[in-house]
């Protein structure tokens, strides 16, 4: 693995189903993030984690949950998917949280369609 | 509220120069980032400015004026591969990145 990987690449999901998007990084970055990107809107932060064992809510957390059991993995779960969660989801990581020189590196994204 | 404004779309000619503007109103400021995003791909880091002035990196330069809440990305000697969206993002007082909607740059031969 080099950098950040996400799985699946794309998924079509029936409304009401549970879904977990996976994210793994091998850069030993402390901080990880989940964003959604919708046409005409900027990237919107769903949840973040400054370090393993801690998580926080971003701008649009409703309907999503995350966990950070270790440094490398940061899964995003949709407990009961709804059509408004149709989007492209990006996972990102950065070397440190709270530093002004922080730069986020992104995974390739997961395209999710909820019908 | 917090706000990042960029033009939605710009068109330029191969070999020319283009300037993409970004204005921001955020709660605090800890730096401004520019990212490039090709269609269907992830954003990739281009530049970071925290002090006023111009940062040059090859064909790309980024300028910041904190007093005006303004930045621009300057792309010189445009190539077809520069066709992409360019995202402006500000690190606010909580060290959270606030993102603009992006500027789609179309390069014509």
Chain B partners of A30 at a C-beta cutoff of 8 Å?
Answer: none
Q: Which of A43, A97, A105 sits opposite B99 (nearest CB)?
A: A43
Q: Are A99 and B33 an interchain contact pair (Cβ–Cβ within 8 Å)?
A: no
Q: Are A106 and B4 an interchain contact pair (Cβ–Cβ within 8 Å)?
A: no
The tokens of A49 are what?
A: 């984690």
Q: Are B96 and A104 an interchain contact pair (Cβ–Cβ within 8 Å)?
A: no
Q: Which of B50, B97, B100 sits opposite A104 (nearest CB)?
A: B97
- List, for residues A13-44, the tens digit of each pLDDT value: 999 999 999 999 999 999 999 999 998 888 99
Q: Which of B41, B48, B96 sits opposite A103 (nearest CB)?
A: B48
Burial A56-83 (b: 16+ CB within 10 A, else e): eebbbbeebebebeebbebbbebeebee
Whether the CB of A44 is below 8 Å from some CB of chain B: the reply is yes
- List, for residues B17-63, the tens digit of each pLDDT value: 999 999 999 989 999 999 999 999 999 999 999 999 999 999 999 99
3-state helix/strand/coil string of chain A: CCCEEEECCEEEECCCCCEEEEEEECCCCCEEEEEEECCCCCCEEEEEECCCCCCEECCCCCCEEECCCCCCECCEEECCCCHHHCEEEEEEEECCCCCCCCCCEECCCEEEEEC
- List, for residues A68-106, the tens digit of each pLDDT value: 999 999 999 999 999 999 999 999 999 875 555 578 999
- Residue among A94, A86, A73 nearest A12 (CA): A86
């Amino acid at each position: 693995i080099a950098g950040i990987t996400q799985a699946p690449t794309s998924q079509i999901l029936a409304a009401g189903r549970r879904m977990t998007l996976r994210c793994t990084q091998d850069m030993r970055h402390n901080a990880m993030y989940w964003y959604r990107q919708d046409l005409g809107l900027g990237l919107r932060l769903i949840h973040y984690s400054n370090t393993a064992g801690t998580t926080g809510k971003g701008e649009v957390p409703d309907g999503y949950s995350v966990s950070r059991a270790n440094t490398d993995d940061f899964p995003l779960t949709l407990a009961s998917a709804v059509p408004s969660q149709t989007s492209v989801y990006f996972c990102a990581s950065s070397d440190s949280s709270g530093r002004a020189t922080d730069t986020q590196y992104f995974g390739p994204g997961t395209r999710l369609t909820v019908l | 509220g917090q706000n990042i404004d960029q033009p939605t779309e710009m068109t330029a000619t191969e070999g020319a120069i283009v300037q993409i503007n970004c204005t921001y109103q955020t709660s605090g400021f800890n730096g401004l980032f520019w990212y490039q995003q090709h269609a269907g791909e992830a954003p990739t880091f281009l530049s970071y400015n925290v002090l006023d002035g111009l940062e040059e990196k090859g064909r790309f330069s980024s300028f910041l004026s904190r007093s005006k809440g303004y930045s621009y990305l300057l792309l010189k000697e445009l190539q077809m591969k520069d066709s992409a969206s360019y995202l402006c993002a500000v690190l606010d007082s909580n060290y959270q990145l606030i993102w603009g909607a992006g500027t789609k740059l179309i390069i014509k031969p």
